[in-house]
Structure 1
Amino acid sequence: MDYVKVIGLEEGLSHMEVGVTKLTRILEGKKEAPFDSESYMRLYTTIYNMCTQKPPHDYSQELYDMYHKVLEDYLTQRALPCLKEKHGVFLLRKLVLRWSHHKVMVRWLARFFHYLDRYYIGRRSLPSLKEVGMTCFRDLVYKELHSRAKDVVIELIHEEREGGQIDRALLKNVLDIYVETGTDKYKNDFEVLMLKDSTSYYSRKAASWIEEDSCPEYMQKAEECLRKEKERVAHYLHSTSEAGLVEIVQRELLVKVAKQLLEKEHSGCGALLRDDKVDDLSRMYRLYQPIAKGLEPVADVFKQHITAEGNALIKQAEDAATSSGVQDQVLVTQIMELHDKYMAYVTGSFQSHTLFHKALKEAFEVCCNKNVAGSSSAELLAIFCDNLLSKGGIEKLGDEAVEHTLENVVKLLAYIRDKDLFAEFYRKKQARRLLFDRSGGEEHESSLLTNLKQKIGGQFTSKMECMVTDMTLAKEQQLDFEAYLNTCVATKPGIDLTVTVLTTGFWPSYKTSDLNLPSEMIKCIQVFKAYYEQRTSHRRLMWVYSLGTCHVVGRFSAKPIELIVSTYQAAVLLLFNNTERLTYNEIVEQLNLSHEDLVRLLHSLSCAKYKILKKEPMSKTISRTDAFEFNSNFTDRMRRIKVPLPPMDERKKVVEDVDKDRRYAIDAAVVRIMKSRKVLPHQQLVSECVELLSKMFKPDIKMIKKQIEDLISRDYLERDTDNLNTFKYLA
């Protein structure tokens, strides 16, 4: 029988001492042969045998304690003494070296004592060999030196921030010790203190730079600081430090000085916008965008700047306004250019951020809803469109420029609250363009209506579109009428006649009167009526003489002159074919016109630029006692002249019509809301009504209340008997 020799504790520990001494000498750089496989296996086998011997010769616990003591002795006798005498960068280098040696020692000892890790430690839930190694270093070396090392690292970071060159690899290795010792150690023993120091550093820098530098220079420095801090994290700080460092730079360099920086007198945000500093504005956006609510002050300055520029244009237009009214072309064009300019900033420098879209919208809502020299913005925009879409406007700009301008018109209209007022003014102007052949073409008319329809809705443009269609049908009918006259020679009226047949509901309402037409005109009407009644039997013609135009020839002593006049003016002039002199009362009697209308007509023919009639007595006003004669001595250098009527102020009538339509719209909105909701409190009904109507106009709260009372009186609604502020719908 073979007997296995039992290894005693003293013998085993002595054998282990030899191996540990060899390992220590190798780590200290002394002349020593490296471990070969034989010596390694001898050590491993010794420990294995000592752990597997039967009690009382199982020395696993003693070996575990020896492992711990070997590490403690090495750190206290070899590492700590030489570390304590080092300072600054030399301390860091020696610390990194000792940490490296310690890890090597733990790794080699763990190999020797591997059997403990596999069986003994696991069964007794003891810390692993690696954990013991880390704990020893933490308790003996790290605890003693981490504060001194931290101070050196922070000092080196400060040196680098000031432009100095440092050993980044060394700092990376030092900070890895903090991390590997435990992430809480990195955070509590280094990061918190480093961030505190960084806060102080950037606070001092902000105070200095904000006084010395312009806004662009300051932002360049702030951006560079952010870049370098992120670079530091990438090179030697732990990734968890990035958020804190970035937040400190943002808070100290950007948030705390935001007001001062943005409002710098000659270089702040307003100055950058004024001077078109696109790159600097883009940098401002990049810096403040990642900060919570950081862009709000920038957007406020942006809004204030646009509002100020828009108000300046309006003030300039008011100052330049002449007796003929506001120069709508100039003002609207300037507002469009302003919008294009700042929309480019929104989409470019500010990356289409919603805050800046909102700021632009709110600024233009202020500018685009101001009255200018007595004219509303809705009226000015309608006049602008009228000039743009007339023949002269299109010839002046060209097709492509007109299309671009029409797109801008729709953009501006989106900011105008009283869209219904614009629609009414525009419809009046469009009607006159179409009826008097002043339109630059159906293509552009339809293009604007298409854009308006897409932006605001079909209800907004339906009547306008029907007007364009009506004119196309009217032109076709005129050709048909001319063909009819050619086939029916006997019915020819004797003078050239053009009739435009329109659908009443699509066009603005026009003044009609029971004018006594001259016989020549009566014959024309009868001829067309006979033609029209053959074509349709269920439509009634209503003649609107106020829109008619006549070409008459005045046979004056010097030369005949063709006069372009209205139907009313022509009716007055034709009276003088049969008599030389007529009194005011005689003209009234023969034409059956109101005093107001006749005064305008006689003034245009006898007191204005072209004195085709002589008035007695001579004066600038028309009275009921005046008498008139044909002025045979009248002459002009032109062979054809247009005799204008005094302009009428249509603004008042348009506003009245719109006001009336608004009352109907409010009625409809209230009934629609109540029909679906049945019962609603007063405040909620008013609120929903405003929301429903605000797409077309901003309803007046007093008007809504008045219409609610009117609907109650007409039995559409009733008040709740228990709560008078609540309404019920009556089906």
Structure 2
Amino acid sequence: IDQEREGEQIDRALLKNVLGIFVEIGMGEMEFYENDFEDAMLKDTAAYYSRKASNWIVEDSCPDYMLKAEECLKKEKDRVSHYLHSSSETKLLEKVQNELLVVYTNQLLEKEHSGCRALLRDDKVEDLSRMYRLFHRIPKGLEQVANVFKQAESSSGSQEQVFVRKVIELLDKYMAYVTDSFANNSLFHKVLKEAFEVFCNNFFAGCSSAELLASYCDNILKKGGSEKLSDDAIEETLDKVVKCLAFISDKDLFAAFYRKKLSRRLLFDKSANDDHERLILTKLKQQYGGQFTSKMEGMVTDLTLAKENQSHFQEYLSNNSAANPGIDLTVRVLTTGFWPSYKSSDLSLPVEMVKCVEVFKEFYQTKTKHRKLTWIYSLDTCNINGKFESKTIELIVGTYQAAALLLFNASDRLSYSDIKSQLNLADDDLIRLLQSLSCAKYKILTKEPSNRTVSSTDHFEFNSKFTDRMRRIRIPLPFVDERKKVVEDVDKDRRYAIDACIVRIMKSRKVLPHQQLVLECVEQLSRMFKPDFKAIKKRIEDLITRDYLERDKENPNLFKYLA
């Protein structure tokens, strides 16, 4: 065998007959073949390819090395079909893959002038495809390729966006292989689906692929996003995003992150094109049904209605000059059920702001008396004039920040406790807003002691000497990572979904064994997410305590529905 590996001609028929004797001696059993031949052959194979790989990894470029590896795997498979027993194929290929790919994965992918980064940079699609073919064979091989994808340098967009773009390109390429090279064969569609499901359901730098795909959409659809595309290219790319989503198990998590980002585009006027927003919702609805997009569609509709509502509010103020608060006020009334959950607070507004809220409440009650308004101050923005010694500067701030700054109209100096008691804010929110005003880039307030952290013993004064070359500045609050909250909300929704699914199944079937109930539950829910068996078991136990189900007294693995 080693002679043939080195290119010599051997008598394959003779070798096949000799190896057949091992099977015949064992009367069809594989014991003699495995113990007296296969074990030694596999050990020799590992040693042979270990020697070869140690030379090739030094001498060859990444593409050349992959060509040799692919050729070796092909030849070893050919040997099995010609003279080795078919049972040797998996074990033999695993040995070859281990020595050629697993052992040298990092060195191969990280080769300075020809590794994965260079292939991405130079758009070497054929070599990248070969890399995919090779590494999808080995355990966690694609994860390592994916990590290099993510780290690859790119002139446009964040690393995450580059990764998603490359995944979409890879999907395009392999879909073309299936349709053009493999005659649309269903087996190849199945293999591609399985490979991409594994690939697309990993975490990259702490982010799920569902979140990365939602962020990629955000960069396409928002003003100033990193994906600069024409209208036709946007439509084509959105089609590909929807196709990519098919491989992601946690579609509900994608929907949650997408809604979060959609809300920011809509509320802060960051959406580049309303038609594109509706276009992707149409595509998602066609693919995953109306329930998947109903909340998102409701959000878009809410904004249209909010604009009409604002026009009516302006008319109301024009006709009631006494009610006009003397401040330009824009209010968006949204439907709670459509939008992501936001933190509301009992912020005590300064008198200047109280009048605005009261006027809008009076207007809204002329339209309906049966709806309750909950103000989400954490999403508001305010434009206020700061009168400093050098000049007046317009400050664009959040409502929390504006409320704090307006307190200094009545007092030159305030303690942390004074501000907290007057605003009625939680410590977390108060610390964030005071940091933004006294410790960050724009020091509108001076703090005592003068350090970069805010504590409950600090005192604050309006910084009358503040100046800036701009006449209008935006003062952001410190960033809060909302990922954890989104994931927690999705987990909560999943519990409700599992409960509803179990009850629906049991209501229809009346009696079911545990395993069948779990399998039916997984089958029904897997369109949106892949439920964990432990989670289903926990929900079953909870439904038993709430008298929706009961265990059969004679067979505890059998459940009955309680009407």
Shorter chain as normaliser: what TM range?
Answer: 0.7 to 0.9
Contact 2:550 2:559 in 1 (8 A): yes
Contact 2:136 2:142 in 1 (8 A): no
Matched, 1:659 2:491: yes
Distance 1:340 1:309, change over 3 A: farther
Contact 2:396 2:472 in 1 (8 A): yes
Please state how far the C-alpha of 1:314 moved relative to its aligned partner: 2.6
Distance 1:711 1:664, change over 3 A: same
Q: What SS does the aligned partner of 1:433 have? A: helix
The one of 375, 379, 382 equivalent to 2:207 is: 375
% same residue: 62
- 1:469 equivalent in structure 2: 301
* C-alpha distance in 1 between matches for 2:476 and 2:188: 49
* C-alpha distance in 1 between matches for 2:231 and 2:138: 33
Matched, 1:456 2:288: yes
Q: What SS does the aligned partner of 1:728 have? A: strand
Matched, 1:330 2:172: no
Contact 1:394 1:440 in 2 (8 A): no
* C-alpha distance in 1 between matches for 2:440 and 2:152: 29
* C-alpha distance in 1 between matches for 2:225 and 2:419: 40
Contact 2:135 2:145 in 1 (8 A): no
Matched, 1:435 2:274: no
* C-alpha distance in 1 between matches for 2:226 and 2:453: 39
* C-alpha distance in 2 between matches for 1:315 and 1:428: 28
Please state how far the C-alpha of 1:217 moved relative to its aligned partner: 12
Contact 1:307 1:363 in 2 (8 A): no
* C-alpha distance in 2 between matches for 1:659 and 1:277: 41
1:333-362 superposed Cα distances (whole Å, 9 cap, x missing partner) = 111111111111111111111121112111
Contact 1:307 1:364 in 2 (8 A): no
Distance 1:563 1:215, change over 3 A: closer
Distance 1:660 1:216, change over 3 A: closer
Letter in 1 for 2:490: V
Distance 1:318 1:376, change over 3 A: farther
Letter in 2 for 1:367: F
Distance 1:652 1:326, change over 3 A: farther
1:567-608 superposed Cα distances (whole Å, 9 cap, x missing partner) = 110000111112211111111111111111100110010001
The one of 147, 155, 171 equivalent to 1:339 is: 171
1:590-630 superposed Cα distances (whole Å, 9 cap, x missing partner) = 11111111001100100011111000010111111111011
Letter in 1 for 2:365: E
Matched, 1:567 2:399: yes
Contact 1:304 1:363 in 2 (8 A): no
Pairing 1:399-548 to 2, within 5 Å after superposition:
399-548=231-380
- 2:221 equivalent in structure 1: 389
- 2:181 equivalent in structure 1: 349
Distance 1:600 1:527, change over 3 A: same
* C-alpha distance in 2 between matches for 1:671 and 1:316: 44
1:17-39 superposed Cα distances (whole Å, 9 cap, x missing partner) = xxxxxxxxxxxxxxxxxxxxxxx
* C-alpha distance in 1 between matches for 2:509 and 2:480: 46
Contact 1:317 1:326 in 2 (8 A): no
Matched, 1:313 2:146: yes
Distance 1:460 1:651, change over 3 A: same
Contact 1:427 1:464 in 2 (8 A): yes
Please state how far the C-alpha of 1:537 moved relative to its aligned partner: 2.1
Letter in 2 for 1:457: G
Q: What SS does the aligned partner of 1:505 have? A: coil
Q: What SS does the aligned partner of 1:506 have? A: coil
The one of 611, 627, 631 equivalent to 2:459 is: 627
Distance 1:614 1:394, change over 3 A: closer
For structure 2, the 5+ residue unaligned runs are 1-11, 17-66, 73-80, 101-118
* C-alpha distance in 1 between matches for 2:200 and 2:255: 15
* C-alpha distance in 2 between matches for 1:588 and 1:402: 47
The one of 407, 413, 419 equivalent to 1:587 is: 419
- 2:137 equivalent in structure 1: 304
Contact 1:558 1:635 in 2 (8 A): yes
* C-alpha distance in 1 between matches for 2:135 and 2:141: 10
Q: What SS does the aligned partner of 1:563 have? A: strand
Structure whose CA Rg is larger: 1
Matched, 1:690 2:554: no
Contact 1:318 1:372 in 2 (8 A): no
Name the count of aligned residue pairs: 474
Normalising by structure 1, we get a TM-score of 0.59
Letter in 2 for 1:328: E
* C-alpha distance in 2 between matches for 1:675 and 1:443: 43
Q: What SS does the aligned partner of 2:137 have? A: helix
- 1:39 equivalent in structure 2: none
1:359-385 superposed Cα distances (whole Å, 9 cap, x missing partner) = 211111112111111111111212222
Contact 2:220 2:227 in 1 (8 A): no
* C-alpha distance in 2 between matches for 1:306 and 1:712: 40
1:154-179 superposed Cα distances (whole Å, 9 cap, x missing partner) = xxxxxxxxxxxxxxxxxxxxxxxxxx
Contact 2:135 2:141 in 1 (8 A): no
- 2:479 equivalent in structure 1: 647
Contact 1:306 1:360 in 2 (8 A): no
Letter in 2 for 1:313: A
* C-alpha distance in 1 between matches for 2:142 and 2:450: 51
C-alpha RMSD over aligned residues: 3.8
Distance 1:305 1:711, change over 3 A: closer
Pairing 1:118-157 to 2, within 5 Å after superposition:
none
* C-alpha distance in 2 between matches for 1:644 and 1:458: 37
* C-alpha distance in 2 between matches for 1:215 and 1:627: 69
Letter in 1 for 2:441: K
1:436-480 superposed Cα distances (whole Å, 9 cap, x missing partner) = 111112211111111111112211111011000000100111112
1:126-178 superposed Cα distances (whole Å, 9 cap, x missing partner) = xxxxxxxxxxxxxxxxxxxxxxxxxxxxxxxxxxxxxxxxxxxxxxxxxxxxx
1:541-566 superposed Cα distances (whole Å, 9 cap, x missing partner) = 12111111001111112221111100
- Greater length-normalized contact order (CA 8 Å, ≥ 6 residues apart): 2
After TM superposition, the runs of 4+ consecutive aligned structure 1 residues lying more than 3 A away are 213-218, 255-261, 263-266, 274-278, 299-311, 318-321
Distance 1:710 1:561, change over 3 A: same
Please state how far the C-alpha of 1:313 moved relative to its aligned partner: 3.0
- 1:724 equivalent in structure 2: 556
Please state how far the C-alpha of 1:515 moved relative to its aligned partner: 0.9
Contact 2:70 2:134 in 1 (8 A): no
Contact 2:386 2:392 in 1 (8 A): yes
Contact 2:306 2:332 in 1 (8 A): yes
Higher helix share: 1
* C-alpha distance in 2 between matches for 1:335 and 1:409: 10
* C-alpha distance in 1 between matches for 2:426 and 2:125: 60
* C-alpha distance in 2 between matches for 1:214 and 1:613: 66
Letter in 2 for 1:472: T
- 1:174 equivalent in structure 2: none
Distance 1:462 1:404, change over 3 A: same
- 1:672 equivalent in structure 2: 504
* C-alpha distance in 2 between matches for 1:510 and 1:277: 47
* C-alpha distance in 1 between matches for 2:185 and 2:455: 66
Q: What SS does the aligned partner of 1:447 have? A: helix
- 2:27 equivalent in structure 1: none
Please state how far the C-alpha of 1:529 moved relative to its aligned partner: 1.4
Contact 1:326 1:372 in 2 (8 A): no
Letter in 2 for 1:416: I
Distance 1:258 1:722, change over 3 A: closer
Please state how far the C-alpha of 1:514 moved relative to its aligned partner: 1.1
* C-alpha distance in 2 between matches for 1:692 and 1:410: 21
Contact 2:506 2:512 in 1 (8 A): yes
- 1:210 equivalent in structure 2: none
* C-alpha distance in 1 between matches for 2:420 and 2:247: 49
Distance 1:551 1:217, change over 3 A: closer
